[in-house]
Amino acid sequence: MFSAAISACLIAVERLSDISPLFFIGLLQALIPHLFMAVYVNGVNQVFDFEIDKINKPYLPLASGKLSFRNCAIIVASSAIMCFGLNLMIGSPALISNILLNFIFWTGYSVNAPFLRWKQYPVVSALFTFATWAIIFPITNFLHIQTFVFKRPVVFTRSLIVSLLFLAFYSTGLALAKDIPDIEGDKQHGIDSFTMRLGQKKVFWICVFLYEMAFGVAFLAGATSSSPLWIKIVTSVGSFALASVLWYQTKYVDVTNPASTRSFYSLNWKLLISAYFLLPLIR
């Protein structure tokens, strides 16, 4: 969440003089509530996935017994209160929209109640991941800096559009890949994921294709940008390097081994974090 917010905020920077105390205050306004929202989202998911996590992720605090249900519930509730409280104090419409949408989406995704538990439905689950990472995070954090901090009109810059297109591919890949190592627990608890429907190998290669498409977007946008030559080189070569690392690592992945696919999924996030710091350079 932090790297996504920082990247989107940097996209609103138009000139070097924008990197000012005002910008850093706006950045902190975005980051601190996200910290509490991240705790809430992960906490509420662990509470309602307790039985599944004992199979798929027994190392998590709640599933391993390191954290009690009571303490976990207190942490989850406190995080939600702090998140909403801070955003209301800050008063940024974009940030309030961000937190409200994420709260609705990820509560409905995890909570086991009538008409909720949306993670049971693979298309809905993938759409929420896509909407969060490819639309809500980049747009609301960008608008927070652009309109609330800098007091500028709403303009969808080339850099923002490139980021949205990149994240459309990459977040879809992440949405599909996260279920590959969890197939056994999902099977026992009736979670109908794309991995259950299509098989681990097919979903794995679909994800690799989507990741490489994302890096292709960044490469082409960087190479054809209006930025100085050194920035074109950094963004295009950087995107190619990240794509190459991803492709090279695919030959070491055993799609039937949860530890192997979980390690690859972790690599996917590390590559995304690296890309987040290239995207604001593309103009």
For residue range 87-125, list pLDDT tens digits in order: 999 999 999 999 999 999 888 888 877 777 777 777 777
Task: Indicate whether 255 and 162 sit together in one domain.
Answer: yes
The residue among 107, 129, 155 that closes a domain is 155
> Is it the case that residue 185 has pLDDT exceeding 70?
no
Task: Indicate whether 72 and 180 sit together in one domain.
Answer: no
Task: Indicate whether 1 and 141 sit together in one domain.
Answer: yes
Residue 95: its pLDDT value, please?
Answer: 95
Task: Indicate whether 137 and 170 sit together in one domain.
Answer: no
Task: Indicate whether 203 and 139 sit together in one domain.
Answer: no
The residue among 155, 187, 205 that closes a domain is 155
Q: Structural domain tally of the chain?
A: 2
Q: Which domain holds residue 255?
A: 156-283
Higher confidence at residue 78 or residue 122? Answer: 78
Question: Residue 3: which CATH number?
Answer: 1.10.357.140
Residue 78 · residue 40 · CB < 8 Å? no
Higher confidence at residue 205 or residue 181? Answer: 205
> Is it the case that residue 197 has pLDDT exceeding 80?
no
Task: Indicate whether 162 and 280 sit together in one domain.
Answer: yes
Residue 121 · residue 55 · CB < 8 Å? no
Task: Indicate whether 123 and 245 sit together in one domain.
Answer: no
Task: Indicate whether 232 and 179 sit together in one domain.
Answer: yes
Report pLDDT digits (tens) over 234-249.
999 999 999 999 999 9
pLDDT band at 68 (very low <50, low <70, confident <90, very high): confident
Question: Residue 264: which CATH number?
Answer: 1.20.120
Residue 255: its pLDDT value, please?
Answer: 84
Task: Indicate whether 198 and 168 sit together in one domain.
Answer: yes
